[in-house]
Amino acid sequence: MLYTTVDSPIGTLLLQGDGHALRGLHMQGGRTAIRVRAEWERADEPFAHVEAQLAEYFEGRRTTFDVPLELAGSPFQRRVWEALQGIPYGETVSYGELARRVGAPSAARAVGVANRENPVAVIVPCHRVIGADGSLTGFGGGLERKRLLLELEAGVLSLTAAG
126 is catalytic: yes
Q: Angle of helix 108-116 relative to helix 75-85, nearest 10 degrees?
A: 80
Choosing from 84, 126, 130, 149, the catalytic residue is 126
Provide the 10 A C-beta neighbour count for residue 160: 11
| Strand 2-6 with 13-17, pairing | antiparallel
Closest Cα to residue 50, out of 1, 117, 149, 122?
122
Classify residue 109 by burial, with Cβ atoms within 10 Å: 0-12, 13-18, 19+.
exposed
Catalytic residue numbers, as ranges: 126
